[in-house]
Chains A and B, each alone.
Chain A
Amino acid sequence: MLLIPCPWCGPRDEAEFHYGGQAHVPYPQDPAALSDEEWARYLFFRDNSKGPFAERWSHAAGCRRWFNAVRDTATNEILTVYRAGEERPATIEPRPVIPARPAFEDEAVQADGGLGAKPPAGVQGAGPLVSGRGGVGEENQPFRLPTRGRIHRDEPLTFTFDGTEYQGYRGDTLASALLANGVIQAGTSIKLGRPRGIFSAGVEEPNAVVQIEAPFPEPMLPATTVELYDGLVARSLPGQGRLATEPDPARYDAVHAHCDLLVVGAGPAGLAAAAAAAKSGARVILADDQPEPGGSLLGTGEHLDWVEEVAELLEAEPEVRVLRRTTVFGYYDDNHLLAVERRTNHLGAGAPENVSRERVWRIRARRVVLATGAHERSLVFADNDRPGVMLAASARTYVNRHGVLPGRHAVVFTTNDSAYSAALDLSAAGVNITAIVDTRPEPGEWAQRAREAGIEVLTGHAVTGTEGDTRLTAVTVAPYGEPTGWREFAADLLLVSGGWNPVAHLFSQAGGRLRHDEALGSFVPDTCRQAVEVAGSANGVLDLARVLAQGAAAGARAIEAGGYTPESPRLPHVAARPQTPPMHVYVVPGDSGAPRFVDLQRDVTVDDLARATGAGMRSVEHTKRYTTAGTANDQGKTSGVLASGVVAELLGVDISALGTTTFRPPYTPVSFATLAGRDRGALHDPIRVTALHEWHVEHGALFENVGQWKRPWYYPQDGEDMEAAVLRECAAARDGVAFMDASTLGKIDVQGPDAAVFLDRLYTNMMSTLKVGMIRYGVMCRPDGMLFDDGTVIRLAQDRFLVTTTTGNAAAVLDWMEEWLQTEWPELRVHCTSVTEQWATVALVGPRSREVLGALAPQLAVSNDDFPFMAWRETTVAGIEARVCRISFSGELAYEINVSPWEALALWQALYEAGAPYGITAYGTETMHVLRAEKGYPIIGQDTDGTVTPQDLGMSWVVSKKKPDFIGKRSYARADTVRADRKHLVGLLPEEPGTFLPEGTQLVADGVLPAPPVPMLGHVTSSYRSAALGRTFALALIKGGRERIGERLYAPVGDRLVPVTVASPVLYDPEGARRDG
């Protein structure tokens, strides 16, 4: 959502504005002097340039002012705005492109400690295992550790997976609880049906995507992100789930939020950033997808005391909002970010009904710090998909955060240092680490430490295959890139680490560019136009001390830019760690013929990608679409860079030249129910009602939607169908008296010394000659001469008019008036104000209407001489102040009575009582349409469609010949508008008087259809059954229609050709005898 700076109101959401096309295209001084071509150029031709473009906007939902903006059509950036009538500023600089992290980065690494520091101490509470199997008991959660983790062992939860009941604890995810119970397989793959196991511990999960069955069905949720609750029922999936068929009873909503600083991610970098800003008074939002802050520290078990300290600090600050369980999933223009907060999912059946289950946060941030961390990358080798293959840091998370052993006997396969910490933590927790297989010939200090812990380290080796069906049983290892020297290890767990991918999704969505980082072997944020910084491992920084320092510096800079003073937060002391550069491996050399998976969720293998490049694909965007790699609901979080690496190898190019596929919102799937929020059911779209609505409801009206209005359509009585009800209502209006709620007509008060001049320019006919006290019908056209709206103009005073519009066009006509006044005719002293709802209007129609009105308005002289057609009077009706207009949309004697809506019900009831002796009948829009159509009165938008001139409707009389100019005039001299074969509005009478022509029916010349293409002469625009005519009839737009009156044409209806006769559109009372009663 762009933020557009209104020159008057300041920055507002784009949704408040209307676009008005190219600016500085003035209305020609003398249109009559222009050739057709010059006039057409003004009407239809606009520039369409790339780069800065001056255009008009209206702050339609705000101050209603038109203004000009220069927008870069390539970046969508609004470069400047200026008021209507002002000159376009000369040069406008676009926003600078800023680096994801300033080059002057000077954050000091505060931690000390030399290279000789001890390996990470593991986790508080880590203790020796009770038994070889570890855990609370052999039946219940045999893979659960007795002490570790952040789960609440005093809050056991019961859940069901694939029909079996299990136990877990508060603080578990579904995945960790399954692992605690020894369940690792969580589904089968979508194409090949291969068993797949829990692969990760977070949103990047490609395998363990499950169906939730209770309390409410929800498909395709990663078990790694589902917080366990009591009564959870889930099922494994064969790659795809099913949507619920019953309506979701939960509430969903959305909330707007504004802040000086939004920090995305509450890991070490994000917490440091928020801590630096917390006490400054700046408004800070910290959003994180987990139930508690800490990020990667929850998985490593390090510095959790500091996490707690920062959490308390943030909690205490009134201007800091910490959003837990909240995933920022979209990054849009002008630092507008969308996040989804999962508010009650984790409560299961205990979720309160009046609290939304999920909430969309629409956050507008002055500055953003992305501390989104990194995802571990997998490696491609034969049979790398068996249940038991798991990302190394995820296994570490299960041990440290959830107190769960993901297996008993593990092989670790790595290309970098990070997996060693995982191996050591798992080993300390009781997992038998059979071997660490490192592709690097010299892994350095870490290998030494592992060996000291009694773990065999195979340097310069790689995993080349696996065994096992529903769970891994063995791992084959060989020297890297060599066909001999195989060894096999029994293992139920294979930890894999191919390096780290910064989570750059949001940065990329923001318009940021990524660059390939050689050292990291992945893509990192580079530059962006938006006010965003990236901190920590999202930037490719994996060293914790630097991550913390970078976060604190980014948070400080962000609020300093907003004029706040940051403070240096206390950061934990982090021992420096040994570092050996990673080796960049995507595909392990050697091909055994077994499948080597790149995208686990889409079952895409190296061979699939090879087929794509073999077919000529040269871009990852193409291979993605050819193979579907990266298109599953994990959106390739673990496989994207891998796929780029594989394709680069296949093409023999460097991965840096290839790049990644484009990141688009949402970062994680968001349900439609959540996105819909409150905008569903009755609240999906506003329902506009008149002051008389309740009466219509009570009297059985059925309603027609006209724009957002609910208008009474017809009032069926005693089981009448629509046809019977409408015939009865029409008969009452033609023979007795009937009344209708016409309050929805648009009404605009036009005031000022130049009001008459203004209306003369706007309407095709002359309004300045209208006398005070009188009313004139008028039509408005666009500059191209096509009908836009019609209505009546009432002259209230010399300098004041009341203009009515069609119901659906009220806002558009007011906008139209303001556009011309503000941009073309600022010299006119006129003001236009909507008064649509200031007045309630009742149409009183029929030969007996004069008697009803006369009875209620004793001070009003109602005779035709005293109160002639197209006059208006102020009086009291039923004791209510009223403006009564003698206008008719039916051809009958009729009045429109305007009163305050506060008194409208009293007026209506008085009319109902006073009319009772004459059988007064309420009628709806359908009857109104029949009555007007019998008289040939067109309805704008039904009988016209933007290609119809007043002359086409046979209304040349409404187009002034005297006025020097008005909007549309020049177009009536265009060759196109004087063509003889233009479509004219005519009446149609089916030769069989009971035959009904559906609206939209085409008309052809011959009674036998020729071979296609059949020449079409026009189409039916309105069609009714008439009580007054005793037959069906229609209005139609037909080529040269007025010259065809009396001709027979044919209307294909179903498989019949219905003969019809072309007639004048005025079929009832053509001499107008009924108008005066």
Chain B
Amino acid sequence: MADTALSVPLRSPLTDAADRLAAATRASGGAVRLAELRFLTQLNVRLDAKGAAADAVGLALDLQLPLEPNTVVRAGELTALWLGPDEWLLVGPPGSRSDLESRIRTAVEDEPVSVTDVSAQRTALLVAGPRARDLLAHGCSLDLHPRAFGAGRCAQTTLARAQIVLVARDEPRAGFWVLVRSSFAGYLTDWLLDAAAEWGLDR
């Protein structure tokens, strides 16, 4: 709903943490890059993967919903994440919610498809840099080696004590998206900054 109301300046969950994230990035000399990606459009889409709706949504979005578990399909500015056998998360640029939702709803007509705006439910943290995997390995039990979790992979898992959706970006150097519930974002940021201290200046 926020993409139409422009009268009020928007505040993301990590607005107040931006300086600390930037400082940690600088202190690491580029070893890790940390930043919040604000106000991304996020839509939860539920439908029967075997039904007609899956193809209809694919055509409408010009993007085939990934059927292989824990993978990502990208098309232009749009990314579709597999969350479950009948569940996807569409991630698009800020402000694209109503356009995406109406394209989906128009395409599927009477098929039982659920579309839920969850743009503010989670915020996105960019974790990049040559030590990004090492940083995430402090709190993520998944094997993040490029052989196991390369470009095109995503996973719902835990980082430290927060549930996250982890996305490996297209290029290995581009790092990861960490999608985290907004209420946990402050905690997870504190945790990431603490873990990144190893690559910061000796204080």
Closest CB in chain A relative to B200 CB, distance in Å? 6
Q: Quick one: given A686-B162, A689-B186, A691-B13, are A253 and B145 in contact (CB under 8 Å)?
A: no
* Interface: B169 (CB within 8 A): no
Which of A257, A283, A690, A694 has a CB less than 8 Å from the CB of B137?
A257
Choice from B10, B16, B163 contacting A903 with Cβ under 8 Å: B10
Q: Please give the distance in Å from A688's CB to the nearest CB on chain B.
A: 4
Q: Which residues of B contact A905 (CB under 8 A)?
A: 11
A61 within 8 Å of B (CB atoms): yes
- Which residues in chain A, 866-919, are within 8 Å of chain B measured between CB atoms? 876, 878-881, 899-906
The interface residues of chain B lying within 8 Å CB-to-CB of A687 are 186-187
Q: Quick one: closest B residue to A83, CB to CB? A: B85
Knowing A13-B141, A837-B121 are in contact, say whether A879-B7 is a contact too (CB < 8 A): yes
Asked if B120 and A15 make an inter-chain contact with CB atoms under 8 angstroms apart, the answer reads: no
Tell me whether B120 and A16 are in contact (CB under 8 A).
Answer: no
Given A353-B202, A353-B203, also A903-B2 (CB < 8 A): yes
Do A837 and B182 touch across chains, with their CB atoms under 8 A apart? yes
Task: Of the listed stretches A271-279, A627-635, A747-755, A952-960, name the one at the interface; the rest are far from the partner chain.
Answer: A747-755
Q: Are B183 and A837 in contact (CB under 8 A)?
A: yes
Interface-lining segment among A23-31, A288-296, A354-362, A963-971: A354-362
B-contact bits for A47-71, CB 8 A (1 contact / 0 none) = 0000000000000011111000000
Tell me which residues across on chain B come within 8 A of A353, comparing CB atoms. Answer: 202-203
Q: Which of B77-91 contact A (CB under 8 A)?
A: 83-87
Could you tell me which residues of chain A, from 812 to 847, have a CB within 8 Å of some CB in chain B?
829, 831, 833-839
Interface string of B171-200 (1 = CB under 8 A from A): 000000000011110111011001101101
- Whether A198 sits at the interface, judged by CB under 8 Å, is no
A16-B157, A686-B187, A831-B114 known; A838+B119 contact, CB < 8 A: yes
Tell me whether B194 and A678 are in contact (CB under 8 A).
Answer: yes
Interface-central residue, A13, A686, A690, A753, by most chain B CB under 10 Å: A686
Instruction: Kindly provide the distance from the CB of B181 to the nearest chain A CB, expressed in whole angstroms.
Output: 6
Given the interface pairs A831-B46, A902-B10, A902-B12, the reply to whether A354 lies near B191 with Cβ below 8 Å is no
A27 to chain B, nearest CB (A): 22
Q: Is the C-beta of A683 less than 8 angstroms from some C-beta in chain B?
A: yes
Q: A683-B187, A686-B184 are in contact. Are A833 and B84 (CB under 8 A)?
A: no
Report whether A683 and B191 are in contact in the complex, using a CB–CB cutoff of 8 Å.
yes
Q: Does B122 contact A (CB under 8 A)?
A: yes
Tell which of A683, A686, A833, A876 touches B44, judged by Cβ atoms closer than 8 Å. A833
For B194, list chain A residues within 8 Å (CB). 678, 683
Q: Do B158 and A902 touch (CB < 8 A)?
A: no
Interface string of A744-788 (1 = CB under 8 A from B): 100001011100000000000000000000000000000000000
Asked if A709 CB lies within 8 Å of chain B CBs, one says yes
With a cutoff of 8 Å between Cβ atoms, the chain B residues found around residue A682 in the complex are: 190
**Once the chains bind, are A356 and B184 in contact (CB under 8 Å)?**
no
| B11-A833 in contact (CB<8A) | no
A-B contact count (CB 8 A): 181
Tell me, rounded to whole Å, the shortest Cβ–Cβ distance linking A183 to chain B.
35
Q: Chain A nearest CB: distance from B61 CB in Å?
A: 18
Q: Is the CB of B69 within 8 A of A63?
A: yes
Interface check A251, CB cutoff 8 A: yes
CB-contacts of B155-175 with A (<8 A): 155-158, 160-163
CA distance in complex: A689, B185 (Å): 9
Contact indicator B84/A63 (Cβ below 8 Å): yes
Nearest B residue (CB) for A59: B156
Closest A residue, CB atoms, query B84: A63
A820 to chain B, nearest CB (A): 16
Q: How many residues of A contact B (CB 8 A)?
A: 68
The smallest beta-carbon distance between B123 and chain A, in angstroms, is: 9
* Residue contact A906 to B9, C-beta cutoff 8 Å: yes
A900 near B1: Cβ-Cβ < 8 Å: yes
| Chain A residues whose C-beta falls within 8 Å of the C-beta of B13 in the assembled complex | 691, 901
Judge if A461 is at the interface, Cβ distance under 8 Å: no
Mostly, the A contact residues are: mixed
CB contact list, B51-105 vs A, under 8 A: 69-70, 83-87
| Chain A residues whose C-beta falls within 8 Å of the C-beta of B148 in the assembled complex | 258
Chain B residues near A694: list those with CB within 8 A: 16
A881/B4 in contact, CB under 8 A = yes
Distance in Å from the Cβ of B122 to the closest Cβ of chain A?
7
Report yes or no: A879 in contact with B118, Cβ–Cβ below 8 A: no
Question: What's the Cα separation between A835 and B157 when bound, in Å?
Answer: 19
B157 contact set on A, CB distance < 8 A? 12, 16, 61-62
Q: How far is the CA of A63 from the CA of B2 in the complex (A)?
A: 28
A721 smallest CB distance to B (angstroms):
29
Is A364 among interface residues, defined by CB-CB distance under 8 A? yes
Check B137 against A879 for contact (C-beta < 8 Å).
no
A619 nearest CB across to chain B (Å): 38
Tell me which residues from 322 to 340 in chain A have a Cβ below 8 Å from any Cβ of chain B.
Answer: none
How far is it, in angstroms, between the C-alpha of A88 and the C-alpha of B201 when the chains are bound? 56
Q: Which residue of chain A lies nearest to B138 when distances are taken between CB atoms in the complex? A: A255
A62 touches B155 (CB 8 A): yes
With a cutoff of 8 Å between Cβ atoms, the chain B residues found around residue A254 in the complex are 138
CA distance A610 to B141 in the complex (A): 49
Kindly list chain A residues whose C-beta atoms are within 8 Å of the C-beta of B4.
881
Assuming the A-B contacts A15-B158, A364-B143, A880-B8, are A61 and B163 also in contact, with contact meaning beta carbons closer than 8 angstroms in the complex?
yes
Chain B CB within 8 A of A352 CB: yes
**Judging by beta carbons under 8 Å apart, are B162 and A879 in contact?**
no
Q: Residue A256 at the B interface, CB < 8 A?
A: yes
Evaluate contact between B9 and A356: CB separation under 8 angstroms: no
Asked whether A838 lies within 8 Å of B2 as measured between CB atoms, the reply is no
Interface membership of A486, Cβ < 8 A:
no
Q: Does A19 contact B (CB under 8 A)?
A: no
Which residues of chain B come closer than 8 Å to A355, judged between CB atoms? 198, 202
Closest to B3 in A: A900
Across-interface contacts of A878 in B (CB, < 8 A)? 8
Verify A881–B5 contact, CB threshold 8 A.
yes
Q: Given the complex of chains A and B, what is the CA–CA distance between A682 and B70 in angstroms? A: 32
Cα–Cα, bound, A879→B2 (Å): 11
Residues of A within 8 Å of B195, CB to CB, are 253, 678
**Interchain nearest-CB distance for A662 vs B (Å):** 27
Across the interface, name the chain B residue whose C-beta is closest to A14. B141
Given contacts A254-B138, A678-B194, contact A833 B161 (CB under 8 A): no
Measured between C-beta atoms, what is the minimum distance from B159 to chain A in Å? 10
**Quick one: CB contact mask for B1-32 with A, threshold 8 Å, 1 for yes?**
11011011111110010000000000000000
In whole angstroms, how far apart are the Cα atoms of A354 and B195 in the complex?
A: 9
- Which residue from B10, B138, B163, B202 sits with its C-beta under 8 Å from A678? B138
B109-120 Cβ-contact flags toward A at 8 Å (1 or 0)? 000101111111
Contact B2–A902 (Cβ < 8 Å): yes
Query: Quick check: is A685 within 8 A (CB to CB) of the other chain?
Result: yes
Q: Residue B37 at the A interface, CB < 8 A?
A: no
B108 at the interface (CB under 8 A from A): no
Interface positions of A from 985 to 1001, Cβ below 8 Å from B: none
Residues of B within 8 A of A1029 (CB): none
Check B140 for interface membership: any CB of A closer than 8 A: yes
Task: Please report which residues of chain A, range 665-694, place their CB below 8 angstroms from some CB of chain B when the two chains form the complex.
Answer: 678-679, 682-683, 685-691, 693-694
| Contact B8 A836, beta carbon cutoff 8 Å | no
**Structural contact, A903 and B5, CB atoms closer than 8 A:** yes
Q: How far is the CA of A876 from the CA of B4 in the complex (A)?
A: 12
CA distance A694 to B16 in the complex (A): 10
Neighbouring A residues of B162 by C-beta, 8 Å: 686
Assess the A62–B156 pair: CB atoms within 8 A.
yes
Tell me the chain A residues, 398-454 only, with Cβ under 8 Å from chain B.
none
Smallest CB–CB gap between B191 and chain A, Å?
A: 5
Which residues from B are CB-within-8-Å of A688? 181, 183-184, 187
Q: For the complex, give the distance between the alpha carbons of A905 and B2 in Å.
A: 13
Q: A9-B155, A683-B191, A693-B186 are in contact. List 5 more A-B contacts (CB 8 A).
A: A9-B156, A354-B198, A683-B187, A835-B117, A881-B1
8 interchain pairs, CB-CB under 8 A: A8-B69, A16-B157, A691-B182, A831-B116, A837-B122, A879-B5, A901-B182, A903-B5
What 9 A-B pairs come out closest when comparing CB atoms?
Answer: A831-B46, A751-B114, A688-B183, A831-B114, A258-B143, A902-B10, A686-B187, A837-B182, A906-B8
